[in-house]
Copies of this chain bind each other. A is one copy, B any other.
């Protein structure tokens, strides 16, 4: 299922991760997105250098690829990333809908290097009140009404 070309793209992602660290951009993570054998987007972690906690390699690469493709979907794309995506990046990938995701290091290796990936994976399964950051549900009628409006709205762009 994984061939030599896949491993070369994976190595490109790891090289980006290394360059990012060496350039003081952020943590050791890199990502490359490929469509029809061509790199259409790439990125490395830029959290600390850009004051953006969402600037993980995968998110940066997804944005980069979508800008280039002029689309909010990564149809038929493969995503190569130096490490297993954290829950934020996993979610971003589901919204972008590529064909597959190939990663080298695991969330456990990331955790051993001091990153919260495995911790956040555990927190997701908890109820809002049990989480380290409390997630409080406060129903407001207007929010429910808005979904009702959306459902019957014509001429809307789905994603």
A interface residue numbers (CB < 8 A to B): 1-2, 6-7, 10-11, 14, 17-18, 21, 26-28, 47-48, 50-54, 56, 59, 62-63, 66-67, 69-74, 82-106, 109-110, 112-114, 116, 119-121, 123-125, 128, 133-140, 142-144, 146-147, 149-151, 153, 156-159
Contacts and interface: CB of A to CB of B under 8 A. Distances in A.
Contact of A72 (B51, B84, B90, B124): B51
A138 B10 contact: yes
Q: Report how many copies the assembly holds.
A: 2
A116 B112 CA distance: 31
Contacts of A153: 21
A155 B13 CA distance: 24
